Amino acid sequence: MRTSVKMKKAGNGVITLSQISKSFGSVRAVDAISCKISKGQIFGIVGPDGAGKSTLLRILATVMKPDAGSMHIEGTSVFENPGFFKKRIAYMPQRFGLYEDLTVEENIYFFGRIFSVSKRDIAAQCPRLYEFSGLGPFKDRLAGKLSGGMKQKLGLACCLVHRPQIILLDEPTNGVDPVSRREFWNILYELLATGVTIIVSTAYLDEAERCNTVALMYGGSFFASGLPGDIKAMVPYPMHVLETNNALFAQRLIADSKMCEISFISGKVVKMFIDEKRISVKKITSLLRYNGIEVMHHKKSIPGLEDCFLFLTEWKRL
């Protein structure tokens, strides 16, 4: 019997979303999303391309109106007071609008002045922005001459110049090298110490592990949320890993046999979530050997967040 996957309720939070929805023609990009996001945490929205992450962040940034729903910050409606809250929110889209013919410092001043920050205040903040971003030695370099990782750091610095309370980041490390990704997340942890709230979308499951709270998004809706450990606890079956001489054929046989609940290929191995009360791994390995597939190694393994995400996403489709 299939076990239902229940959504974990969030605790009281500074940001409250209620039934947020947005459609583009017949496509329901965001479908009745409700949640609460606590102050001073990193809230991760995790999902594949097309899940609706970017549309949701545009709505939260008040640059796009929802078809329905409400958003409150500490009890005050955001959509009824967009101008008031825009000064308190920083939004960094996937393609942040840096001016490549301006220097690092000129970009920071430009975005600061957009938010009516005085030149004196910007000058006072620059040492802090340079310190956490590591951009000090490059302040006179044109933005167009920066590496991908440095451009993302500059984008974040520009977002922070008006001292926002809430930071919205749409896949900020997409296409960035692993070292720069790690450095960027170190910066986010430093920002948490100042009391800001960070909402970040990502398709990288290792980054989701770094978030305080995670919401899994698919088809425009959140289908599971909670601490990373809570997400892992939502998977009702143990995971087994098989190493064979033909992972693709093995996974197809296993899926067609209906002997396991969910299976998928990961590199050269097949990962299977098995209802051990219904079937044994021995029967599955016997099936594979009967069909000429050699099973070199088998182990029972603790699933990572990526494994759990793949399981829960496939489980939702069934």
> In terms of domains, do 14 and 81 share one?
yes
Burial class (CB in 10 A: 0-12, 13-18, 19+), 188: buried
CA angle 128, 168, 26 (to 5 degrees): 160
> In terms of domains, do 48 and 79 share one?
yes
> In terms of domains, do 158 and 171 share one?
no
> In terms of domains, do 27 and 57 share one?
yes
> Is residue 251 assigned to a domain?
yes
Of the chain, the percentage scoring pLDDT greater than 90 comes to 40
Count of domains for the chain = 3
> In terms of domains, do 106 and 205 share one?
no
CA angle 292, 251, 259 (to 5 degrees): 95
The pLDDT mean for the chain works out to: 87
State residue 318's pLDDT score. 63
> Is residue 206 assigned to a domain?
yes
> In terms of domains, do 245 and 298 share one?
yes
Which residue is associated with the tokens 């929805």?
21
State residue 305's pLDDT score. 86
> Is residue 184 assigned to a domain?
no
Q: What range does the domain containing 119 cover?
A: 94-164
> Is residue 318 assigned to a domain?
no
> In terms of domains, do 118 and 254 share one?
no
Q: Tell me if residue 129 falls in helix, strand or coil.
A: helix
Supply the pTM of this predicted model.
0.83
> In terms of domains, do 133 and 198 share one?
no
Helices and strands in the chain: count of H runs, count of E runs: 11, 14
- Tens of pLDDT, residues 100-129: 899 999 999 999 998 889 999 999 989 988
> In terms of domains, do 146 and 275 share one?
no
> In terms of domains, do 28 and 45 share one?
yes
> In terms of domains, do 115 and 156 share one?
yes
> Is residue 232 assigned to a domain?
no
Q: Tell me if residue 47 falls in helix, strand or coil.
A: coil
> In terms of domains, do 76 and 146 share one?
no
Q: Tell me, what CATH number does 209's domain have?
A: 3.40.50.300
Residue-wise over 23-55: b if at least 16 C-beta within 10 A, else e? eeeeebbbbebebbbeeebbbbbbbeeebbbbb
